[in-house]
Structure 1
Amino acid sequence: MRLLGHGIAPDRATLQPGPEFADVIKASFTAQLRAVRDAVSIGDLFTRLEDAGVLLRIDPAVRPTMYRCATVSGRELEQLRRITDVVRMGHLLRIEDDRMVLEGGGVAMDGHALYVARTADGAEKRPAAAIFDDGQITLQSVRGCQQIFSAALIAHVEADYPDDATKNRLCLPLPHPDTDLDWLRLAQADYRNQLRFLDDPELTEWLASVRLDLFGHLMGRLLAPPSAKPKVRDRILGMAKKALSATAAKLDALMAAEAALSPGRRPV
């Protein structure tokens, strides 16, 4: 409405109706589960995720070593791939009159070059702490890369559950990712947190009604209504729990295999 009120032509808008957008998210989530199920190594998993469009990289020939919840559209990716002068020498240490000095070396530069700093870590990785602690709430993500949903869930749990032990059981914090392997850690923790949510009928019902929770919406569309026979709902919930448990276990195995091959690259 704000854009229309400022004279933007209506035909420039592309709306995403809820059910259609939910179908897109469902397809992406299903592709993610399938990629984990079929992967034989972490490298193979990343290839499958890329083929499915779940994860993207600017240079198809270079495997990224960092992951920080960045998002990109197809058109943005096309434009970024037009930039071919990419320096991969680690973090910038300082800028001198005629060069950039980085962790891995120096790069000669025109003395009139304009430098634009875009390296700030907007979601710094910090040690996890109990979210509820004797009247104090320490806001943290309880779903990977979903700070707004996490805040809504924490507020709901604070209002509707009786004690810190129960609240902390439902709200296990997920530290922000930093490396490529952290994607696996985050996905695994997401699956396990979702299993905790599904074990709580009242929370499952609430999640199905919250627009911020795409997975809850998907479950709400799959579940039979509360008036249906309990066995029907239990069967569907059981199928979802089985799929999430198997996927989390497979990620465990992939991370263990990677740690055995490269002990220094263990996700933390």
Structure 2
Amino acid sequence: MSDFETDYLIVGAGAVGLAFADTLLDEDPDCHITIVDKHARPGGHWNDAYPFVALHQPSATYGVNSMELCPDRVDEHGHNAGMFPLAKHAEILSYYSKLMSERMIPSGRVSYHPLTEYLGGDVGEHRIRGILSGDEQTVRVRRKLVDGTYFQTSVPSTHKPTFAIAEGARFAIPGDLPALWKETDNLPDHYIILGAGKTAMDTGVWLIEAGVSPEKIGWVRPRDSWMFNRKLLQPAYHRIEGLIQFQIDLVECAASSKTGDEMLAKLGQRGTMLRLDESVTPKMFHFAVISEGEVEMLRRIETVYRQGRVTRIEPGKMHFGDDAIDVPDNTLFIDCTATAVPFEARENVRPFFEGDTITLQLAQTPFVPYSAALAAFLEANFDTDEEKNALCPPAPLTDSTDTYPYAVMANLMSTAILSNNKKTDQFNAKSRLHPTGPAVARLIEEKDPRLATLSKVGPKIQKLMPEVVRLGMAAKAIHEAS
């Protein structure tokens, strides 16, 4: 016998689960939702993130549909000056707490169970357990289980290093760095960043802005990355010209290239993509977004190790397999090697809608909250799994330069599918999380002259789409074989 009942049991109170719940509240006013999460407060992996983390992209399209994340203004200082704000760690956690306490729970239709783990279930009966109490409960789910944990996001504080750490080696994760002020009598003489992704970049920027001389920083970068230029990805209503340029650049460079590397190199020549070292051809692409100011700052770190992955650290020495490199004494090694989305999650693609289970994935890469909100809209407004899945085939989360054209092709196809359906087209026009929908609707309403330029994008894409598909299908084959 069940302890309580609900219509939808959502596993995960992070960006994915909450974006789904928020939209479902509006689209299905009769449903009841239960949310369980291992963390003590809403926000998912943001609870475990380092304190100086911020969004990579403007906050205008992050969070949930019903509530703005950051004020609609332009930053005047720092490396994001002249662009719209990037929500910081504390702001994001506060946002999700406010969402839960002021919208979801007061609705009377949401039950929230923090510090609770999902144990599994079948045929409508599911089990949960309080992490601290150990008490188990059975939940009867009248409609569907919603899995908001597909991405298995890994952050430094929950990541286990894959290299050995010898006794006496000074080791830290990014979250430890703000507490260095407590060690003024024993500050490191040198810092080495381990990892090549956006966490490592954030760490390098933080160290330099905190006053550490770039000469005292080393950086282990086994491979370099291409990154989106943030100035082109600003909120659509205010900076539609940049988004138009970005979209045209993507299709023109894809259509005129034979490989992903060639496409990204052309995007780099246009300034659409950025890289840290002009002499190195990046092989990694994880959809990171960066400013030109951050790139300029990070290029000041000139000691870069490219020998591969570190296998062991010890006082005064760093190992790469059988090779060892001397490093300054009293070096602090900073582990930034956590993979945001593990490869097993990338490989485990399944339909969004399967009977009594909804698996929240990407409908368009890398728009995580939007994809979850879209899934909720489809759940509430379409009848069959076949209809719903036809409107949101899972988009690929590619990670390399070779496979990125596959994601570009998939996004363009998804856009066409959704715009050709009256219901989903109307949803996109009002969804705060959609990168362009509400802005375009507003421009049309205001008869904005910028629509003339925007109107040229569709015909350009249509003309070049066969060549985009050619490159995208070749990248798809590489992605599926890797």
TM range (shorter): 0.7 to 0.9
1:131 aligned to 346, 352, 365, which one? 352
- Is 2:324 the counterpart of 1:106? yes
Cα 1:11–1:83 change in 2 (3 A) is closer
C-alpha distance in 1 between matches for 2:409 and 2:236: 27
Following TM superposition, by how much is the alpha carbon of 1:76 offset from its aligned partner in structure 2, in angstroms? 0.3
Following TM superposition, by how much is the alpha carbon of 1:96 offset from its aligned partner in structure 2, in angstroms? 2.4
Residues 54-69 of structure 1: pairs in structure 2 closer than 5 A: 54-69=272-287
- Is 2:454 the counterpart of 1:242? no
- Is 2:425 the counterpart of 1:207? no
* Contact residue 68 and residue 123 of structure 1 kept, 8 A: no
Larger Rg: 2
- Map of 2:383 onto structure 1: 162
Unaligned runs of 5+ in 2: 1-67, 85-234, 447-454
TM-score (norm 2): 0.45
* Contact residue 142 and residue 172 of structure 1 kept, 8 A: yes
Q: Which runs of 4+ in 1 moved over 3 A?
A: 1-4, 10-18, 40-43, 103-106, 215-225, 235-241, 252-256
Please give the per-residue CA displacement for 1:191-234, whole angstroms capped at 9, x wherever unaligned: 22222212312211221222322243576478799xxxxxxxxx
C-alpha distance in 1 between matches for 2:70 and 2:424: 36
Please give the per-residue CA displacement for 1:11-50, whole angstroms capped at 9, x wherever unaligned: 6685757523222112211121121223354433222111
Following TM superposition, by how much is the alpha carbon of 1:135 offset from its aligned partner in structure 2, in angstroms? 1.7
Cα 1:253–1:206 change in 2 (3 A) is closer
C-alpha distance in 1 between matches for 2:376 and 2:408: 23
C-alpha distance in 1 between matches for 2:341 and 2:240: 26
Cα 1:222–1:104 change in 2 (3 A) is farther
Cα 1:237–1:160 change in 2 (3 A) is farther
* Contact residue 207 and residue 213 of structure 1 kept, 8 A: yes
Identity of aligned residues (%): 24
Structure 1 range deviating more: 96-105 or 145-154: 96-105
* Contact residue 174 and residue 189 of structure 1 kept, 8 A: yes
C-alpha distance in 2 between matches for 1:131 and 1:63: 36
C-alpha distance in 2 between matches for 1:204 and 1:55: 29
C-alpha distance in 2 between matches for 1:167 and 1:104: 53
C-alpha distance in 2 between matches for 1:19 and 1:51: 26
- The SS at the match of 2:311 is strand
* Contact residue 67 and residue 179 of structure 1 kept, 8 A: yes
Unaligned runs of 5+ in 1: 5-9, 226-234, 260-265
Structure 1 range deviating more: 123-132 or 72-81: 123-132
* Contact residue 258 and residue 471 of structure 2 kept, 8 A: no
- Is 2:271 the counterpart of 1:53? yes
**RCO higher in structure (CA 8 A, sep ≥6):** 2
1:144 aligned to 365, 370, 393, which one? 365
Following TM superposition, by how much is the alpha carbon of 1:51 offset from its aligned partner in structure 2, in angstroms? 1.7
- Map of 1:31 onto structure 2: 249
**Counterpart of 2:350 in structure 1: which amino acid?**
A
User: How many residue pairs end up in the alignment?
Assistant: 246
Cα 1:246–1:168 change in 2 (3 A) is same
**Counterpart of 1:161 in structure 2: which amino acid?**
F
Query: Higher helix proportion, which one?
Result: 1
TM-score (norm 1): 0.77
